[in-house]
Amino acid sequence: MPSFAPRPHGFRTTAIIIACALFMEQLDATVLATALPTMARSFSVSPLHMSAALTSYLLGLAIFIPASGHFADRYGARRIFRLAILVFTAGSMLCGQSTSLLFLVGARFLQGMGGAMMVPVGRLVLLRTVDRKDMVAAMSWFMVPALIGPVVGPPLGGFLVTYLSWRWIFYINVPIGILGMWLATVYIEDIKELDPGPFDLKGFLLSCVSLSCLMYGLEMGSRGGGISLGATLLIIAVGLGVGIAYVLHARGAANPILDFRMMRIPTFGISVIGGSLTRITAGALPFLLPMMMQLGFGMSAARSGLITFSTAAGSVLMKIAAPPILRRYGFRDTLVWNSLIASGFLAACALFRPGWPVFLIHGVLLLGGFFQSLQFTALNTVAYADISQPRMSSATSFYATFQQLMLSMGICVSSAILALAMAVSGHASPRLSDFSAAFLGVTALSVLASPVSARLPRDAGRAMSGHGEAGETPLALES
C-alpha cells in the first residue's frame, strides 16, 4: 500500500482504531462457536469434526504471534498492521465462501495468520505513539473490545445463523476490516527500528512446534475434539518438551524471537505471571456463564446472551474510572486489592440460581465486568512501564503469546473442573452444583494474582499513572 502522512489526532483515536481490530478478532472467535452445528449440517459432516475450524485458527496464531514484533520492526508497524487486517479480512471472505470443511480449515488458518499480527502489532503502535502519561486512558479504550467481543458474540451468532446464514458471521468482518485499513492509513504513524537485528529462524521453528502443540492440545482437551485423553496429553507433552528446547536455545541467542530475559524486569515479569492467573478466569467466564444459563436455568441462547451482556457494560464504564483510580492508588495497590474484589464477584456467579431476581444477576455481572476490566487495563499498562523502546516489539510479542495461551488454558481448566464435579456427583449432564464448583475452582486461581501483584514496587508505573509526587520519575524509566 502507498505511504501517507498521518493526520494529527489524539491518543484516543489511535486506541479506538486498534481496539476495532481487537474487537473484530474477539467477536469472530466467539460467534463461530455458536454456528458450528449449522455449519456441520451444511458441509454434511459430524459436528465433532468442526473443531478443526477452531484449532486451525489457533495454529495460525501460534505460528505467527512470536514473529509479529520482528516483522513490525523490519517493515514498519503501520504497514504490518494494515497487512494483518487485510489478511484477516481476506480469510473471513474465504470462510464465508467455503464449500467444504477442508476449504474452511484453510481459510481459518489464514485468518489466524492475520489475527496473530493484528493485535500484538496494534498494541505496539499504541505503546510507541502514546505518551506515558496518557497510557492508562489509552489502554482503557483498547481493552474494552477484549471483554465485549466474547459476550456479544454468542447472541449475535445465534441471530445471524437463525435469521440469515452462517456465512454472515464471516461477512460482517469485511466492512470492519476495510474501514480499519483506511483508518490505519490515515491516522496511524509508521514506526520501524533502524536495526531490528537478524531473524531468529531456529527459535521461530521451535516456538511454532511448541505453541502449536500446546494450543492444539489445550483446545482438544477442553472441547473433547475426537481424540483420546492419552493423545491429548502426548501432544501437550511434546509442546512442553519442545518449549524447554526453545528456552535452552534462547539463553544463547543474541536476538531470540521470544526473549525470556525480559521476565527479569519486575514490572513486566510480575504482570505476565499475575496476568496469566487472571486470564485463566477471563477465558473461563464466557465458557461457563452462557452454558450455566442455558443448561442450568433453561434459558434460550438469546435470553442468556442479554444477561451476560452486563459484563460488557461494566467494562465500558471502567474506561472512565480507570485513570483516576490508578492516579489515586497506583498500580501496585490497585492490582492487589482489585484482584480480590474481581475474584469475589466471580465467586458470586457460583451462587446464581433460577430464583434470583434478574436485576441482581445483572448487578453482579456489571460490577464483575468493571473490576475485571480494571485489572486487565492495569496489567496491560504497567507491563510496559520499564521496557525501553528498542525492546518494545519483543515485549509485545512475548506478552501476546502468553495471553493467548492462558485464555485457551481458561477454557481447558474450567472444562476439567466441570467434568470432575460431574464425575464426583455422578451427574451425566452438568447441573447447577457442578457449575458452582467450576466457578469456585477458577476463582481460587484468580485470587493468587493478588500476592503476585504485591511484589510490584510501590512506585511501579508512576510516569503512566501519575500516582505519587509530581515530577519524580523512576530511574528505570530513563531511556
Q: How far is CA 413 from CA 79, 274, 451, in A?
A: 37, 17, 21
Can you give the CATH number for the domain in which 437 is found?
Answer: 1.20.1250.20
Are the CB atoms for 17 and 184 separated by under 8 Å? yes
- Summarised one tens digit per residue, pLDDT across range 338-379 is 999 999 999 999 999 988 898 898 899 888 888 888 888 888
Query: The domain containing residue 19 runs over which residues?
Result: 8-185
- Segment among 7-16, 91-100, 393-402 with least mean pLDDT: 7-16
Crossing angle of the two packed helices 301-348 and 135-163, in degrees rounded to 10 = 140
Write down the pLDDT at residue 29. Answer: 67
Write down the pLDDT at residue 181. Answer: 86
Residue 285 identity: L
Confidence of residue 471 (pLDDT cuts 50, 70, 90): very low
In a domain, 370, yes or no: yes
Query: In terms of domains, do 133 and 226 share one?
Result: no
Write down the pLDDT at residue 393. Answer: 78
φ/ψ region of 44 (left if φ > 0, alpha if ψ in -120 to 50, else beta) reads left
Query: In terms of domains, do 210 and 159 share one?
Result: no
C-alpha grid cell, residue 28: 469472530
Residue with the larger pLDDT of the pair 136 and 281: 281
C-alpha grid cell, residue 424: 464426583
Mean pLDDT, all residues of the chain: 79
- Segment among 4-18, 201-215, 417-431 with least mean pLDDT: 4-18
Query: In terms of domains, do 379 and 233 share one?
Result: no
Quick one: CA dihedral 236, 402, 321, 16, positive or negative? Answer: negative
Q: How far is CA 348 from CA 285, 345, 435, 460, in A?
A: 12, 5, 12, 31
In a domain, 63, yes or no: yes
Is pTM beyond 0.85 here? no
Residue with the larger pLDDT of the pair 408 and 167: 167
Query: In terms of domains, do 309 and 451 share one?
Result: yes
Rounded-to-integer distance, Cα 43 and Cα 50, Å: 10
In a domain, 144, yes or no: yes
- Summarised one tens digit per residue, pLDDT across range 313-349 is 777 777 777 888 888 888 899 999 999 999 999 999 9
Choosing from 160, 185, 210, the residue where a domain stops is 185
Query: In terms of domains, do 240 and 349 share one?
Result: no
Query: In terms of domains, do 247 and 290 share one?
Result: no
Please state the domain count of the chain: 3
Query: In terms of domains, do 274 and 411 share one?
Result: yes
Query: In terms of domains, do 99 and 168 share one?
Result: yes
Query: In terms of domains, do 285 and 368 share one?
Result: yes
Q: How far is CA 376 from CA 139, 277, 335, 438, in A?
A: 9, 11, 9, 22
Read off the pLDDT of each residue in 222-233 and give the average, rounded to a whole number. Answer: 66
Confidence of residue 451 (pLDDT cuts 50, 70, 90): very high
Are the CB atoms for 265 and 392 separated by under 8 Å? no
Rounded-to-integer distance, Cα 271 and Cα 106, Å: 35
Residue 8 has pLDDT above 70, yes or no: no
Most confident of 2-6, 128-132, 268-272, 302-306: 268-272
Query: In terms of domains, do 63 and 139 share one?
Result: yes
Q: Which of 424, 71, 406, 46 is nearest to 224 (CA)?
A: 46
In a domain, 219, yes or no: yes
